[in-house]
Structure 1
Amino acid sequence: MIRVLIADDHVLVRETLGAFVENAGGFELTLVEDLDAACVSMRESRGYDLVLLDYQMPGMNGLEGLSRAMESNRGKPVALMSGVANRKIAQDAMEAGAIGFLPKTMGAKSLVNAIRFMAMGEQFIPVAFMNEPDETEIDHPLAEKLTPRELEVLGGLCRGMANKEIARELDLQEVTIKMNVKTLCRKLEAKNRTHAAMIAKEAGLF
């Protein structure tokens, strides 16, 4: 059984997320309403395989709450979720030690798959979320050469992800990712996937 704690101050959100996880089977689930309750539960138990925290619930104070939770969970994985946080917050959370970041817009199947992945100690953040343009961003000439899907795949390459990891996040077959990599390399005149990522980074696309 995978032991998971979900902390969210909105009852409906908390119970809906909990239902998704319980219906999938194979989980021992604990639901709490704020960071203080989460930390108490973590300390009183032997820690959880994964702790999932709402970024904006009471007690979080931004990423300070993440640090508290990581300490209380005895070094085991802690992830953040949010319905409003932007890409910068997600990146900061990962750099601060979060195992992952989940938008609340994720579907049930993708959410459960992500939870299983993070509980095994693997970092997770949706490629599509990280590749969504900020409102302040302008069109990039390099991006105009690629389809939205190819941009998502390229974003995964820039973060050093393997084809199977990108496929899992995008809910696609690995062979589809391989085809996208081949096509975007041709469009960018890149020798290989590493070269494509280097071209994208040097151009400021990611």
Structure 2
Amino acid sequence: MRVLVADDHDLVRETIAAYLESEGGARASLAPSLTEALERVAAEGAFDLVLLDYNMPGMDGLRGLARMLEANAGRPVAILSGSGTQTLADEAVASGAAGFVPKTLSSRAMIAAARLMIEGQVFLPETLEQEEEAQRYGLSRRETEMLRGICAGKSNKEIARDHDIQEVTVKLHVRTLSRKLGARNRTHAAMIARDRGLI
């Protein structure tokens, strides 16, 4: 599969491309702006999938999506975002995007999302609404990850291994998120998270 990754952050662009090439068998082209992405399509022909950073130069909101959809000859174009909302994701899909892809997706999830969109399906992450809800309670992204681990019945040691952090760090996050949720212990935190739709 031929994928164009357009993002103005070098590290993000190169990391996503590396995921897709090393683990997904894709051939990735890179561009740091919408203008250069459009030039790539003009020079190399339509791509199987184009990933466009929502906030990069030239995008002008979803107008950039419309320009790329036209340029890429009806092939899938998706929005990449570092901090998207459910509303923005819905608007992007309603405007013709093949999906709304958080930059925080794991390599495996990123590849699965790319394949899904190339096959003609729409990709929307299940976690967006949950993340918005978690932010209402002041939970950080890391605290939300810890909470998911607790809800999955994992020990602090297992959660630490999953995220490549120290067990003491997990304990600290669990203590902080429990305080924010008003939870007495881990089990209570998991119950609150499920009741409020955080997980």
Range of TM-score over shorter length: 0.5 to 0.7
- Rounded to whole Å, the distance in 2 between the matches of 1:44 and 1:137 is 45
Distance between the aligned counterparts of 1:52 and 1:100, measured in 2? 9
Residue of structure 2 in register with 1:69 after alignment: 68
- CA positional deviation for 1:45: 2.3
The answer (yes or no) to whether the contact 2:85–2:132 under 8 Å persists in 1 is no
What's 1:60 paired with?
A: 59
Shift of 1:46: 2.4
Alpha-carbon distance between aligned partners in 2 of 1:132 and 1:10, rounded to the nearest angstrom: 23
- Counterpart-to-counterpart distance in 2, 1:112 and 1:22: 9
C-alpha displacement of 1:63: 0.3
Contact 2:8/2:57 (CA < 8 Å) preserved in 1? Answer: yes
Instruction: Call closer, same or farther: CA 1:136–1:8 in 2, change over 3 Å.
Output: closer
Q: Within the alignment, does 1:50 sit opposite 2:49 as a pair?
A: yes
The whole-number CA distance in structure 1 between the counterparts of 2:79 and 2:7 is: 10
TM-score, scaled to structure 1: 0.63
Q: CA deviation at 1:58?
A: 0.2
Residue 52 of structure 1 deviates from its aligned partner by 0.2
How many angstroms apart in 1 are the aligned matches of 2:84 and 2:122? 18
Does the residue aligned with 2:30 lie in a helix, a strand or coil? Answer: strand
Name structure 1 gaps, 5 residues minimum: 139-147, 150-206
- 1:30 aligns to what? 29
Task: For 1:104 and 1:136, locate their aligned partners in 2 and report how far apart those are by CA, in whole Å.
Answer: 18
Code of the aligned partner of 1:83:
G
Deviation at 1:135, TM superposition (A): 7.3
Return the letter of the residue paired with 1:77. Answer: P
Cα 1:62–1:132 change in 2 (3 A) is same
C-alpha separation in 2, matches of 1:10 and 1:23: 20
Q: How many residues align?
A: 139
The separation in 2 between residues aligned to 1:129 and 1:33, in whole angstroms, is 25
Q: Which runs of 4+ in 1 moved over 6 A?
A: 135-138
The answer to whether the 8 A contact 2:8-2:32 is kept is: yes
What's the secondary structure of 1:122's corresponding residue?
coil
CA contact (8 A) 2:34 2:64 kept: yes
CA distance in 2, matches of 1:47, 1:120: 15
1:21 and 1:135 mapped to 2: Cα distance? 30
Whole-angstrom distance in 2 between the partners of 1:84 and 1:55: 10
Go from structure 1 to structure 2 and tell me whether the alpha carbon gap of 1:130 and 1:136 turns closer, same or farther (over 3 Å shift).
closer
Specify the code of the residue in structure 2 equivalent to 1:125.
Answer: L
Q: Normalising by the residue count of structure 2, what TM-score does the alignment of the two structures yield?
A: 0.65
Percent of aligned positions with the same letter in both sequences? 43
Deviation per residue, 1:139-193 (Å, 9 max, x gap): xxxxxxxxx99xxxxxxxxxxxxxxxxxxxxxxxxxxxxxxxxxxxxxxxxxxxx
Task: Measure the CA separation in 1 of the matches of 2:58 and 2:33.
Answer: 7
Question: Which SS does the other structure have where 2:121 is aligned?
Answer: coil
Relative distance call for 1:85 and 1:133 in structure 2 (3 A) is closer
Other structure's SS at 1:12 match = helix
Cα distance in 2 for residues equivalent to 1:32 and 1:136: 32
